[in-house]
Chains A and B, each alone.
Chain A
Amino acid sequence: MKRFFARNAPAYVFLLPWLIGFFLLALGPILASLYLSFTRYDMVSAPRWIGWGNYEYMFTRDRRFWKALEVTFTYVALAVPARLIMALGVAMLLDKGLRTIGLYRAIFYLPSLLGASIAIAILWRQLFAADGVVNQVLAMVGIQGASWITDPDTSLYTLVVLAMWQFGSPMLIFLAGLRGIPRDLYEAAEIDGTPGWRQFTRITLPLLAPVIFFNLVLQTIEAFKTFSSAFIISNGTGAPSDSLLFYTVYLFNEAFKFFRMGYASALAWFLLVIIAAFTAIAFFTSKYWVHYENERD
Protein backbone atom coordinates (compact mmCIF):
# COMPACT_ATOMS: atom_id res chain seq x y z
CA MET A 1 0.00 0.00 0.00
CA LYS A 2 2.77 2.33 0.94
CA ARG A 3 4.66 1.41 -2.20
CA PHE A 4 1.55 1.90 -4.29
CA PHE A 5 1.22 5.38 -2.85
CA ALA A 6 4.89 6.21 -3.36
CA ARG A 7 4.75 5.05 -6.95
CA ASN A 8 1.64 7.02 -7.88
CA ALA A 9 1.81 10.12 -5.75
CA PRO A 10 4.10 12.25 -7.97
CA ALA A 11 2.05 11.56 -11.08
CA TYR A 12 -1.19 12.51 -9.38
CA VAL A 13 0.34 15.72 -8.10
CA PHE A 14 1.09 16.66 -11.70
CA LEU A 15 -2.32 15.51 -12.78
CA LEU A 16 -4.13 17.34 -9.99
CA PRO A 17 -5.08 20.55 -11.84
CA TRP A 18 -6.46 18.55 -14.72
CA LEU A 19 -8.29 16.16 -12.39
CA ILE A 20 -9.96 19.03 -10.55
CA GLY A 21 -10.84 20.60 -13.86
CA PHE A 22 -12.16 17.34 -15.22
CA PHE A 23 -14.52 16.80 -12.30
CA LEU A 24 -15.60 20.41 -11.79
CA LEU A 25 -15.63 21.70 -15.38
CA ALA A 26 -16.38 18.62 -17.48
CA LEU A 27 -17.87 15.58 -15.75
CA GLY A 28 -19.82 17.48 -13.10
CA PRO A 29 -21.39 19.92 -15.55
CA ILE A 30 -22.20 17.14 -18.02
CA LEU A 31 -24.10 15.21 -15.37
CA ALA A 32 -25.70 18.39 -14.05
CA SER A 33 -26.72 19.24 -17.58
CA LEU A 34 -28.30 15.81 -17.95
CA TYR A 35 -30.25 16.37 -14.72
CA LEU A 36 -31.31 19.88 -15.72
CA SER A 37 -32.54 18.59 -19.05
CA PHE A 38 -35.31 16.79 -17.16
CA THR A 39 -36.35 19.91 -15.28
CA ARG A 40 -37.88 23.29 -15.78
CA TYR A 41 -35.36 25.83 -14.53
CA ASP A 42 -35.36 29.61 -14.92
CA MET A 43 -32.52 30.39 -12.46
CA VAL A 44 -34.98 32.20 -10.17
CA SER A 45 -36.70 29.27 -8.53
CA ALA A 46 -35.21 25.83 -7.98
CA PRO A 47 -35.24 23.32 -10.88
CA ARG A 48 -38.56 21.43 -11.08
CA TRP A 49 -38.54 17.82 -12.31
CA ILE A 50 -40.73 17.37 -15.38
CA GLY A 51 -39.47 14.01 -16.63
CA TRP A 52 -39.24 13.73 -20.40
CA GLY A 53 -41.20 16.96 -20.85
CA ASN A 54 -38.40 18.95 -22.46
CA TYR A 55 -37.50 16.21 -24.89
CA GLU A 56 -41.14 15.60 -25.73
CA TYR A 57 -41.66 19.27 -26.48
CA MET A 58 -38.42 19.38 -28.46
CA PHE A 59 -39.26 16.52 -30.80
CA THR A 60 -43.00 16.94 -31.16
CA ARG A 61 -43.91 20.58 -30.85
CA ASP A 62 -40.89 22.84 -31.19
CA ARG A 63 -40.74 24.00 -34.79
CA ARG A 64 -37.67 26.13 -34.19
CA PHE A 65 -35.77 23.10 -32.94
CA TRP A 66 -36.38 21.31 -36.24
CA LYS A 67 -35.49 24.47 -38.12
CA ALA A 68 -32.23 24.70 -36.18
CA LEU A 69 -31.46 21.08 -36.99
CA GLU A 70 -32.20 21.68 -40.65
CA VAL A 71 -29.98 24.76 -40.80
CA THR A 72 -27.13 23.10 -38.97
CA PHE A 73 -27.21 19.85 -40.93
CA THR A 74 -27.41 21.73 -44.23
CA TYR A 75 -24.44 23.78 -43.16
CA VAL A 76 -22.42 20.74 -42.09
CA ALA A 77 -23.28 18.87 -45.28
CA LEU A 78 -22.16 21.78 -47.47
CA ALA A 79 -19.35 23.39 -45.51
CA VAL A 80 -17.38 20.32 -44.49
CA PRO A 81 -16.99 18.75 -47.97
CA ALA A 82 -16.41 22.18 -49.53
CA ARG A 83 -13.66 22.98 -47.06
CA LEU A 84 -12.02 19.58 -47.32
CA ILE A 85 -12.05 19.56 -51.13
CA MET A 86 -10.48 23.03 -51.17
CA ALA A 87 -7.92 21.91 -48.62
CA LEU A 88 -6.97 18.74 -50.47
CA GLY A 89 -6.89 20.43 -53.86
CA VAL A 90 -4.60 23.22 -52.74
CA ALA A 91 -2.44 20.84 -50.69
CA MET A 92 -1.89 18.68 -53.79
CA LEU A 93 -1.00 21.73 -55.85
CA LEU A 94 1.54 22.76 -53.25
CA ASP A 95 2.92 19.28 -52.70
CA LYS A 96 4.54 18.55 -56.02
CA GLY A 97 6.81 20.42 -58.37
CA LEU A 98 7.19 23.67 -56.50
CA ARG A 99 10.41 24.56 -54.75
CA THR A 100 9.20 27.07 -52.22
CA ILE A 101 5.72 26.95 -50.84
CA GLY A 102 6.24 28.81 -47.55
CA LEU A 103 4.58 32.03 -48.63
CA TYR A 104 1.54 30.33 -50.21
CA ARG A 105 1.15 28.14 -47.17
CA ALA A 106 1.16 31.21 -44.94
CA ILE A 107 -1.34 33.09 -47.11
CA PHE A 108 -3.73 30.15 -47.27
CA TYR A 109 -3.49 29.50 -43.56
CA LEU A 110 -3.99 33.08 -42.40
CA PRO A 111 -7.80 33.10 -42.87
CA SER A 112 -8.13 30.03 -40.65
CA LEU A 113 -6.42 31.88 -37.86
CA LEU A 114 -8.51 35.03 -38.26
CA GLY A 115 -11.76 33.38 -39.30
CA ALA A 116 -13.21 32.85 -35.86
CA SER A 117 -12.79 36.48 -34.87
CA ILE A 118 -15.60 38.97 -34.58
CA ALA A 119 -13.76 41.33 -36.92
CA ILE A 120 -14.06 38.81 -39.77
CA ALA A 121 -17.73 38.17 -39.06
CA ILE A 122 -18.33 41.93 -39.23
CA LEU A 123 -16.35 42.07 -42.48
CA TRP A 124 -18.37 39.18 -43.94
CA ARG A 125 -21.65 40.94 -43.28
CA GLN A 126 -20.44 43.88 -45.33
CA LEU A 127 -18.89 41.85 -48.15
CA PHE A 128 -22.21 40.14 -48.78
CA ALA A 129 -24.40 43.17 -48.16
CA ALA A 130 -26.74 44.26 -50.96
CA ASP A 131 -24.26 46.95 -52.03
CA GLY A 132 -21.24 44.92 -50.94
CA VAL A 133 -18.17 43.77 -52.77
CA VAL A 134 -19.58 40.42 -53.89
CA ASN A 135 -22.47 42.02 -55.71
CA GLN A 136 -20.20 44.57 -57.36
CA VAL A 137 -18.05 41.78 -58.74
CA LEU A 138 -21.16 39.99 -59.95
CA ALA A 139 -22.46 43.19 -61.50
CA MET A 140 -19.29 43.43 -63.57
CA VAL A 141 -20.18 40.17 -65.29
CA GLY A 142 -23.78 41.29 -65.58
CA ILE A 143 -25.33 39.33 -62.74
CA GLN A 144 -27.77 40.99 -60.42
CA GLY A 145 -26.70 39.61 -57.02
CA ALA A 146 -29.10 38.80 -54.25
CA SER A 147 -29.20 40.61 -50.96
CA TRP A 148 -27.23 37.70 -49.60
CA ILE A 149 -27.37 38.31 -45.88
CA THR A 150 -30.96 39.47 -45.59
CA ASP A 151 -32.45 36.95 -48.01
CA PRO A 152 -33.35 33.77 -46.10
CA ASP A 153 -32.73 31.70 -49.24
CA THR A 154 -29.10 32.71 -49.53
CA SER A 155 -27.91 33.75 -46.08
CA LEU A 156 -26.63 30.30 -45.15
CA TYR A 157 -24.40 30.17 -48.23
CA THR A 158 -22.47 33.22 -47.04
CA LEU A 159 -21.43 31.16 -44.04
CA VAL A 160 -20.55 28.19 -46.23
CA VAL A 161 -18.27 30.48 -48.23
CA LEU A 162 -16.77 31.74 -44.98
CA ALA A 163 -16.08 28.13 -44.00
CA MET A 164 -14.46 27.45 -47.38
CA TRP A 165 -12.29 30.50 -47.00
CA GLN A 166 -10.85 28.92 -43.87
CA PHE A 167 -9.49 25.74 -45.39
CA GLY A 168 -6.01 26.38 -43.98
CA SER A 169 -5.69 23.93 -41.13
CA PRO A 170 -6.98 20.83 -42.91
CA MET A 171 -4.73 21.89 -45.79
CA LEU A 172 -1.68 21.81 -43.53
CA ILE A 173 -2.66 18.38 -42.24
CA PHE A 174 -3.16 17.13 -45.81
CA LEU A 175 0.23 18.52 -46.77
CA ALA A 176 1.88 16.61 -43.95
CA GLY A 177 0.01 13.49 -45.09
CA LEU A 178 1.01 13.91 -48.74
CA ARG A 179 4.64 14.25 -47.69
CA GLY A 180 4.36 10.79 -46.19
CA ILE A 181 3.44 9.11 -49.49
CA PRO A 182 6.56 7.53 -51.04
CA ARG A 183 7.58 9.32 -54.24
CA ASP A 184 8.60 6.10 -56.02
CA LEU A 185 4.96 5.00 -56.18
CA TYR A 186 4.21 7.94 -58.46
CA GLU A 187 7.41 7.35 -60.45
CA ALA A 188 6.47 3.72 -60.99
CA ALA A 189 2.98 4.77 -62.06
CA GLU A 190 4.50 7.34 -64.40
CA ILE A 191 6.66 4.70 -66.08
CA ASP A 192 3.63 2.43 -66.47
CA GLY A 193 1.87 5.33 -68.15
CA THR A 194 -0.86 5.61 -65.53
CA PRO A 195 -2.83 8.79 -66.17
CA GLY A 196 -2.89 11.48 -63.47
CA TRP A 197 -6.49 10.91 -62.48
CA ARG A 198 -5.88 7.24 -61.82
CA GLN A 199 -2.73 8.04 -59.87
CA PHE A 200 -4.97 10.16 -57.69
CA THR A 201 -7.65 7.50 -57.14
CA ARG A 202 -5.24 4.56 -56.86
CA ILE A 203 -2.33 6.04 -54.93
CA THR A 204 -3.14 9.38 -53.32
CA LEU A 205 -6.65 8.70 -52.05
CA PRO A 206 -6.03 5.25 -50.51
CA LEU A 207 -2.77 6.26 -48.86
CA LEU A 208 -4.26 9.48 -47.61
CA ALA A 209 -7.38 7.82 -46.23
CA PRO A 210 -6.32 7.98 -42.57
CA VAL A 211 -5.64 11.71 -42.89
CA ILE A 212 -8.91 12.30 -44.75
CA PHE A 213 -10.73 10.38 -42.06
CA PHE A 214 -9.08 12.43 -39.34
CA ASN A 215 -9.88 15.74 -41.04
CA LEU A 216 -13.44 14.67 -41.74
CA VAL A 217 -14.19 13.78 -38.12
CA LEU A 218 -12.54 16.91 -36.78
CA GLN A 219 -14.12 19.31 -39.25
CA THR A 220 -17.56 17.80 -38.79
CA ILE A 221 -17.37 18.30 -35.03
CA GLU A 222 -16.09 21.83 -35.59
CA ALA A 223 -18.91 22.59 -38.01
CA PHE A 224 -21.57 21.45 -35.56
CA LYS A 225 -20.12 23.81 -32.99
CA THR A 226 -20.10 26.90 -35.26
CA PHE A 227 -21.27 29.84 -33.22
CA SER A 228 -19.57 33.24 -33.32
CA SER A 229 -19.85 33.96 -37.03
CA ALA A 230 -23.47 32.79 -37.19
CA PHE A 231 -24.29 34.81 -34.09
CA ILE A 232 -22.78 38.02 -35.43
CA ILE A 233 -24.07 37.69 -38.98
CA SER A 234 -27.60 36.91 -37.79
CA ASN A 235 -27.62 39.70 -35.20
CA GLY A 236 -27.68 37.11 -32.47
CA THR A 237 -31.12 35.82 -33.33
CA GLY A 238 -30.81 33.46 -36.29
CA ALA A 239 -32.44 36.03 -38.59
CA PRO A 240 -33.53 36.37 -41.39
CA SER A 241 -36.56 34.09 -40.92
CA ASP A 242 -34.47 31.72 -38.79
CA SER A 243 -32.36 30.85 -41.83
CA LEU A 244 -29.21 31.28 -39.73
CA LEU A 245 -30.67 29.63 -36.67
CA PHE A 246 -27.65 27.45 -35.98
CA TYR A 247 -28.20 24.90 -33.27
CA THR A 248 -25.72 26.66 -30.98
CA VAL A 249 -27.35 30.04 -31.60
CA TYR A 250 -30.76 28.61 -30.72
CA LEU A 251 -29.33 27.00 -27.59
CA PHE A 252 -27.67 30.25 -26.56
CA ASN A 253 -30.89 32.20 -26.95
CA GLU A 254 -32.99 29.67 -25.06
CA ALA A 255 -30.48 29.71 -22.20
CA PHE A 256 -29.28 33.27 -21.91
CA LYS A 257 -32.04 35.32 -23.47
CA PHE A 258 -35.13 33.47 -22.29
CA PHE A 259 -33.49 31.72 -19.34
CA ARG A 260 -35.08 28.39 -20.18
CA MET A 261 -32.09 26.61 -18.68
CA GLY A 262 -33.76 23.22 -18.42
CA TYR A 263 -34.86 23.20 -22.02
CA ALA A 264 -31.49 24.53 -23.19
CA SER A 265 -29.81 21.69 -21.30
CA ALA A 266 -31.94 19.20 -23.19
CA LEU A 267 -30.86 20.90 -26.43
CA ALA A 268 -27.24 20.68 -25.30
CA TRP A 269 -27.54 17.00 -24.53
CA PHE A 270 -29.05 16.27 -27.88
CA LEU A 271 -26.16 18.12 -29.52
CA LEU A 272 -23.77 15.92 -27.59
CA VAL A 273 -25.64 12.84 -28.81
CA ILE A 274 -25.50 14.04 -32.43
CA ILE A 275 -21.77 14.69 -32.28
CA ALA A 276 -21.08 11.41 -30.50
CA ALA A 277 -23.18 9.57 -33.09
CA PHE A 278 -21.31 11.15 -35.98
CA THR A 279 -17.97 10.35 -34.44
CA ALA A 280 -19.06 6.78 -33.74
CA ILE A 281 -20.32 6.31 -37.31
CA ALA A 282 -17.05 7.63 -38.66
CA PHE A 283 -15.05 5.27 -36.48
CA PHE A 284 -17.16 2.20 -37.17
CA THR A 285 -17.25 2.69 -40.91
CA SER A 286 -13.58 3.64 -41.04
CA LYS A 287 -12.42 0.04 -41.18
CA TYR A 288 -14.05 -0.28 -44.59
CA TRP A 289 -12.30 2.63 -46.19
CA VAL A 290 -9.34 3.56 -44.03
CA HIS A 291 -6.29 1.35 -44.11
CA TYR A 292 -3.22 2.14 -42.12
CA GLU A 293 0.09 1.44 -43.75
CA ASN A 294 1.68 -0.37 -40.84
CA GLU A 295 -1.39 -2.52 -40.35
CA ARG A 296 -0.89 -6.25 -40.95
CA ASP A 297 -3.74 -8.24 -42.33
Chain B
Amino acid sequence: MKTSATDLELAIQMDEAARVAHALRLKRDRGERNGRILKHIFLIIVSCVMLYPLFWLLASSLKPENEIFGSLTLWPSEFRFENYTKGWYALPISFTVFYINSAIVTGLSVIGNLVSCSFAAYAFARLNFTGRSFFFALMMMTLMIPYHVVLIPQYVQFLNLGWVDTYLPLVVPRFLASDGFFIFLMVQFFRQLPRELDEAAMIDGCSPFKIYWAIILPLSLPAMGTAAIFSLIWVWEDFLAPLIYLNDIKSYTVPLALRLFLDQEGQSAYGQMFAMSVLSLVPVVIFFVLFQKLIVRGIATSGMK
Protein backbone atom coordinates (compact mmCIF):
# COMPACT_ATOMS: atom_id res chain seq x y z
CA MET B 1 0.00 0.00 0.00
CA LYS B 2 2.64 2.40 1.09
CA THR B 3 4.83 1.77 -1.89
CA SER B 4 1.97 2.36 -4.26
CA ALA B 5 1.27 5.73 -2.59
CA THR B 6 4.85 6.86 -3.18
CA ASP B 7 4.58 5.40 -6.65
CA LEU B 8 1.52 7.47 -7.21
CA GLU B 9 3.23 10.54 -5.83
CA LEU B 10 6.19 9.89 -8.04
CA ALA B 11 3.93 9.41 -10.99
CA ILE B 12 2.19 12.70 -10.25
CA GLN B 13 5.53 14.45 -9.89
CA MET B 14 6.78 12.99 -13.12
CA ASP B 15 3.61 13.96 -14.84
CA GLU B 16 3.99 17.48 -13.50
CA ALA B 17 7.58 17.65 -14.68
CA ALA B 18 6.58 16.39 -18.10
CA ARG B 19 3.85 19.00 -18.27
CA VAL B 20 6.24 21.79 -17.36
CA ALA B 21 8.77 20.54 -19.88
CA HIS B 22 6.06 20.32 -22.51
CA ALA B 23 4.85 23.82 -21.73
CA LEU B 24 8.40 25.13 -21.96
CA ARG B 25 8.93 23.37 -25.26
CA LEU B 26 5.66 24.72 -26.56
CA LYS B 27 6.67 28.19 -25.52
CA ARG B 28 10.05 27.82 -27.18
CA ASP B 29 8.50 26.36 -30.32
CA ARG B 30 6.00 29.16 -30.43
CA GLY B 31 8.77 31.66 -29.92
CA GLU B 32 10.76 30.04 -32.68
CA ARG B 33 7.77 29.98 -34.96
CA ASN B 34 7.03 33.62 -34.25
CA GLY B 35 10.67 34.43 -34.93
CA ARG B 36 10.49 32.49 -38.14
CA ILE B 37 7.36 34.29 -39.29
CA LEU B 38 8.93 37.65 -38.47
CA LYS B 39 12.00 36.64 -40.44
CA HIS B 40 9.90 35.61 -43.41
CA ILE B 41 8.02 38.90 -43.34
CA PHE B 42 11.27 40.83 -43.21
CA LEU B 43 12.84 38.77 -45.99
CA ILE B 44 9.78 39.15 -48.18
CA ILE B 45 9.96 42.93 -47.78
CA VAL B 46 13.66 42.90 -48.68
CA SER B 47 12.91 40.67 -51.66
CA CYS B 48 10.29 43.10 -52.90
CA VAL B 49 12.69 46.02 -52.63
CA MET B 50 15.36 44.02 -54.43
CA LEU B 51 13.04 42.99 -57.24
CA TYR B 52 11.15 46.25 -57.61
CA PRO B 53 13.65 47.84 -60.04
CA LEU B 54 13.48 44.80 -62.28
CA PHE B 55 9.69 44.76 -62.27
CA TRP B 56 9.66 48.49 -62.87
CA LEU B 57 11.85 47.93 -65.92
CA LEU B 58 9.52 45.22 -67.19
CA ALA B 59 6.42 47.32 -66.53
CA SER B 60 7.90 50.43 -68.15
CA SER B 61 8.72 48.45 -71.25
CA LEU B 62 5.00 47.82 -71.69
CA LYS B 63 3.66 51.24 -70.76
CA PRO B 64 2.63 54.13 -72.96
CA GLU B 65 5.35 56.79 -73.00
CA ASN B 66 3.50 59.28 -70.75
CA GLU B 67 2.94 56.70 -68.01
CA ILE B 68 6.54 55.64 -67.50
CA PHE B 69 7.50 58.52 -65.27
CA GLY B 70 5.35 60.06 -62.62
CA SER B 71 3.69 56.86 -61.48
CA LEU B 72 4.78 54.08 -59.18
CA THR B 73 2.17 51.59 -60.26
CA LEU B 74 3.53 48.64 -62.09
CA TRP B 75 0.36 47.83 -64.01
CA PRO B 76 0.14 49.66 -67.35
CA SER B 77 -3.23 51.19 -68.16
CA GLU B 78 -2.85 49.63 -71.57
CA PHE B 79 -0.23 47.20 -72.78
CA ARG B 80 2.02 48.61 -75.48
CA PHE B 81 3.58 45.53 -76.98
CA GLU B 82 4.63 47.64 -79.94
CA ASN B 83 7.41 48.99 -77.74
CA TYR B 84 9.04 45.65 -78.43
CA THR B 85 8.32 45.43 -82.13
CA LYS B 86 9.21 49.08 -82.74
CA GLY B 87 12.26 48.95 -80.47
CA TRP B 88 13.56 45.95 -82.37
CA TYR B 89 13.82 48.12 -85.49
CA ALA B 90 14.43 51.49 -83.81
CA LEU B 91 18.14 51.61 -84.61
CA PRO B 92 19.58 51.86 -88.13
CA ILE B 93 20.20 48.11 -87.96
CA SER B 94 17.69 45.66 -86.56
CA PHE B 95 18.28 43.84 -83.32
CA THR B 96 18.26 40.54 -85.22
CA VAL B 97 21.80 41.40 -86.34
CA PHE B 98 22.91 42.41 -82.84
CA TYR B 99 21.59 39.19 -81.35
CA ILE B 100 23.29 37.09 -84.01
CA ASN B 101 26.55 38.99 -83.35
CA SER B 102 26.24 38.50 -79.59
CA ALA B 103 25.42 34.83 -80.09
CA ILE B 104 28.51 34.31 -82.27
CA VAL B 105 30.84 36.05 -79.84
CA THR B 106 29.31 34.36 -76.80
CA GLY B 107 29.17 30.88 -78.34
CA LEU B 108 32.78 30.92 -79.51
CA SER B 109 33.97 32.42 -76.23
CA VAL B 110 32.24 29.78 -74.14
CA ILE B 111 33.77 26.98 -76.22
CA GLY B 112 37.18 28.64 -75.99
CA ASN B 113 36.95 29.06 -72.24
CA LEU B 114 35.86 25.48 -71.65
CA VAL B 115 38.53 23.89 -73.84
CA SER B 116 41.54 25.99 -72.93
CA CYS B 117 40.76 26.42 -69.23
CA SER B 118 40.02 22.74 -68.68
CA PHE B 119 43.32 21.90 -70.42
CA ALA B 120 45.26 24.18 -68.11
CA ALA B 121 43.29 23.08 -65.06
CA TYR B 122 43.95 19.42 -65.85
CA ALA B 123 47.69 20.07 -66.06
CA PHE B 124 47.67 22.03 -62.79
CA ALA B 125 45.44 19.64 -60.88
CA ARG B 126 46.43 16.19 -62.12
CA LEU B 127 49.83 16.17 -63.79
CA ASN B 128 53.24 16.43 -62.17
CA PHE B 129 55.64 18.65 -64.00
CA THR B 130 58.60 20.86 -63.34
CA GLY B 131 57.48 24.39 -62.59
CA ARG B 132 53.92 23.52 -61.68
CA SER B 133 53.65 25.54 -58.49
CA PHE B 134 55.53 28.43 -60.12
CA PHE B 135 53.12 28.64 -63.04
CA PHE B 136 50.13 28.12 -60.78
CA ALA B 137 51.22 31.09 -58.67
CA LEU B 138 51.61 33.16 -61.84
CA MET B 139 48.14 32.14 -62.93
CA MET B 140 46.67 33.18 -59.59
CA MET B 141 48.44 36.53 -59.87
CA THR B 142 46.88 37.22 -63.24
CA LEU B 143 43.49 37.00 -61.51
CA MET B 144 44.37 40.19 -59.68
CA ILE B 145 45.52 42.20 -62.69
CA PRO B 146 42.93 44.70 -63.87
CA TYR B 147 42.00 44.35 -67.51
CA HIS B 148 42.77 48.04 -67.98
CA VAL B 149 46.49 47.42 -67.47
CA VAL B 150 46.84 45.06 -70.41
CA LEU B 151 44.23 46.84 -72.49
CA ILE B 152 46.39 49.38 -74.31
CA PRO B 153 49.24 47.08 -75.42
CA GLN B 154 46.67 44.46 -76.39
CA TYR B 155 44.84 47.04 -78.44
CA VAL B 156 48.06 48.08 -80.21
CA GLN B 157 48.88 44.43 -80.79
CA PHE B 158 45.48 43.61 -82.28
CA LEU B 159 45.48 46.80 -84.33
CA ASN B 160 48.80 45.82 -85.90
CA LEU B 161 47.39 42.38 -86.66
CA GLY B 162 44.47 44.04 -88.42
CA TRP B 163 42.03 42.47 -85.99
CA VAL B 164 40.17 45.61 -84.95
CA ASP B 165 36.55 45.53 -86.12
CA THR B 166 36.57 41.75 -86.16
CA TYR B 167 35.54 39.36 -83.41
CA LEU B 168 39.05 37.94 -83.12
CA PRO B 169 40.17 40.22 -80.23
CA LEU B 170 37.07 39.14 -78.31
CA VAL B 171 37.28 35.43 -79.05
CA VAL B 172 40.92 34.43 -79.49
CA PRO B 173 42.00 35.34 -75.92
CA ARG B 174 39.35 32.97 -74.63
CA PHE B 175 40.96 30.12 -76.55
CA LEU B 176 44.19 31.03 -74.76
CA ALA B 177 42.73 30.55 -71.27
CA SER B 178 42.89 34.26 -70.54
CA ASP B 179 40.26 34.02 -67.81
CA GLY B 180 42.08 32.52 -64.85
CA PHE B 181 38.90 32.40 -62.79
CA PHE B 182 37.68 29.39 -64.75
CA ILE B 183 41.02 27.62 -64.45
CA PHE B 184 40.86 28.12 -60.70
CA LEU B 185 37.27 26.88 -60.53
CA MET B 186 38.12 23.74 -62.49
CA VAL B 187 41.34 23.07 -60.57
CA GLN B 188 39.31 23.13 -57.36
CA PHE B 189 36.94 20.56 -58.79
CA PHE B 190 39.50 18.29 -60.50
CA ARG B 191 41.48 18.03 -57.27
CA GLN B 192 38.55 16.45 -55.48
CA LEU B 193 38.36 13.53 -57.90
CA PRO B 194 40.06 10.38 -56.55
CA ARG B 195 43.66 9.97 -57.72
CA GLU B 196 43.25 6.20 -57.96
CA LEU B 197 41.25 6.69 -61.16
CA ASP B 198 44.21 8.25 -62.96
CA GLU B 199 46.62 5.72 -61.54
CA ALA B 200 44.48 2.76 -62.56
CA ALA B 201 44.04 4.19 -66.03
CA MET B 202 47.76 4.88 -66.29
CA ILE B 203 48.55 1.24 -65.42
CA ASP B 204 46.10 0.18 -68.10
CA GLY B 205 48.18 2.22 -70.51
CA CYS B 206 45.97 5.28 -70.93
CA SER B 207 47.70 8.42 -72.16
CA PRO B 208 47.22 11.64 -70.19
CA PHE B 209 44.96 12.88 -72.96
CA LYS B 210 42.81 9.75 -72.73
CA ILE B 211 42.56 10.21 -68.97
CA TYR B 212 41.50 13.83 -69.45
CA TRP B 213 38.95 12.96 -72.08
CA ALA B 214 37.51 9.69 -70.74
CA ILE B 215 37.78 10.14 -66.97
CA ILE B 216 38.24 13.71 -65.81
CA LEU B 217 35.85 15.47 -68.18
CA PRO B 218 32.89 13.09 -67.78
CA LEU B 219 33.23 13.29 -63.99
CA SER B 220 33.47 17.07 -64.05
CA LEU B 221 30.28 17.93 -65.84
CA PRO B 222 28.99 20.06 -62.93
CA ALA B 223 32.18 22.15 -62.92
CA MET B 224 32.15 22.45 -66.70
CA GLY B 225 28.49 23.43 -66.56
CA THR B 226 29.19 26.11 -63.97
CA ALA B 227 32.05 27.49 -66.03
CA ALA B 228 29.93 27.43 -69.18
CA ILE B 229 27.08 29.35 -67.56
CA PHE B 230 29.32 31.95 -65.95
CA SER B 231 31.29 32.58 -69.10
CA LEU B 232 28.10 32.73 -71.11
CA ILE B 233 26.60 35.37 -68.85
CA TRP B 234 29.77 37.43 -68.54
CA VAL B 235 30.55 37.43 -72.23
CA TRP B 236 26.94 38.23 -73.04
CA GLU B 237 27.07 41.27 -70.73
CA ASP B 238 30.63 42.26 -71.66
CA PHE B 239 30.84 45.90 -72.60
CA LEU B 240 34.39 47.24 -72.44
CA ALA B 241 36.07 44.93 -74.96
CA PRO B 242 33.35 45.25 -77.61
CA LEU B 243 33.31 49.00 -77.01
CA ILE B 244 36.98 49.20 -77.90
CA TYR B 245 37.24 46.67 -80.68
CA LEU B 246 33.97 47.05 -82.57
CA ASN B 247 33.47 50.33 -84.41
CA ASP B 248 31.16 49.29 -87.21
CA ILE B 249 27.55 49.26 -86.12
CA LYS B 250 26.95 46.13 -88.20
CA SER B 251 29.26 44.20 -85.92
CA TYR B 252 27.84 45.59 -82.65
CA THR B 253 26.85 43.24 -79.86
CA VAL B 254 23.62 43.78 -77.89
CA PRO B 255 25.14 45.89 -75.04
CA LEU B 256 26.70 48.29 -77.57
CA ALA B 257 23.39 48.55 -79.37
CA LEU B 258 21.62 49.38 -76.11
CA ARG B 259 24.05 52.20 -75.58
CA LEU B 260 22.98 53.71 -78.91
CA PHE B 261 19.54 54.26 -77.40
CA LEU B 262 21.11 56.52 -74.81
CA ASP B 263 22.65 58.69 -77.51
CA GLN B 264 19.16 59.18 -78.92
CA GLU B 265 17.75 60.17 -75.56
CA GLY B 266 15.34 63.06 -75.70
CA GLN B 267 13.55 61.52 -78.65
CA SER B 268 11.30 60.08 -75.94
CA ALA B 269 11.64 56.45 -76.92
CA TYR B 270 12.00 55.29 -73.33
CA GLY B 271 9.47 52.51 -73.73
CA GLN B 272 11.42 51.04 -76.64
CA MET B 273 14.73 51.44 -74.85
CA PHE B 274 13.35 49.61 -71.81
CA ALA B 275 11.82 46.93 -74.01
CA MET B 276 15.18 46.18 -75.60
CA SER B 277 16.83 46.30 -72.18
CA VAL B 278 14.40 43.68 -70.92
CA LEU B 279 15.08 41.47 -73.93
CA SER B 280 18.84 41.73 -73.38
CA LEU B 281 18.39 40.38 -69.84
CA VAL B 282 16.11 37.52 -70.85
CA PRO B 283 18.85 35.02 -71.79
CA VAL B 284 20.66 35.68 -68.50
CA VAL B 285 17.51 35.24 -66.43
CA ILE B 286 16.56 32.05 -68.27
CA PHE B 287 19.98 30.53 -67.71
CA PHE B 288 19.90 31.61 -64.10
CA VAL B 289 16.54 29.97 -63.48
CA LEU B 290 17.53 26.77 -65.26
CA PHE B 291 20.98 26.40 -63.74
CA GLN B 292 20.57 28.12 -60.40
CA LYS B 293 21.97 25.16 -58.46
CA LEU B 294 25.13 25.00 -60.54
CA ILE B 295 25.69 28.74 -60.20
CA VAL B 296 25.21 28.78 -56.44
CA ARG B 297 27.46 25.78 -55.94
CA GLY B 298 30.06 27.25 -58.27
CA ILE B 299 30.34 30.37 -56.16
CA ALA B 300 30.35 28.49 -52.89
CA THR B 301 33.09 26.06 -53.98
CA SER B 302 35.35 28.43 -55.84
CA GLY B 303 34.48 31.28 -53.52
CA MET B 304 34.73 33.79 -56.30
CA LYS B 305 32.82 36.61 -57.93
Contacts and interface: CB of A to CB of B under 8 A. Distances in A.
Interface in B28-51: 32, 35-36, 39-40, 42-43, 46-47, 50-51
Interface stretch (B11-19, B81-89, B220-228, B277-285): B277-285
B173 A21 contact: yes
Contacts of B296: 105, 109, 172
Nearest to A251: B148
A127 interface: yes
B149 interface: yes
Interface residues of A, number: 91
B156 interface: yes
Interface in A37-56: 43
Interface in B95-116: 115-116
Interface in A247-275: 248, 251-252, 255-256, 261, 264-265, 268-269, 271-272, 275
Interface stretch (A8-16, A181-189, A197-205): A8-16
Interface residues of B, number: 93
Contacts of B36: 97-98
Contacts of B127: 10-11, 14
Contacts of A26: 142, 145, 150, 178
A110 interface: yes
B277 to A, nearest CB: 4
A28 interface: yes
B142 A22 contact: yes
Given A33-B153, A165-B53, A175-B300, A129 B69 contact: yes
B67 to A, nearest CB: 12
Given A33-B149, A123-B53, A172-B299, A117 B176 contact: no
Given A108-B47, A248-B148, A276-B144, A169 B305 contact: yes
Contact of B149 (A93, A94, A272): A272
Contacts of A22: 138-139, 142
Interface of B is mostly: helix
B72 interface: yes
B153 A36 contact: yes
Interface in A216-245: 218, 221-222, 224-225, 227-228, 231-232, 235
A21 B176 contact: yes
Contacts of B239: 116, 118, 227-228, 231
18 contacts: A10-B207, A15-B119, A18-B119, A18-B139, A36-B153, A93-B42, A97-B39, A108-B46, A117-B280, A119-B57, A122-B262, A133-B56, A218-B304, A227-B239, A255-B151, A255-B155, A256-B244, A272-B146
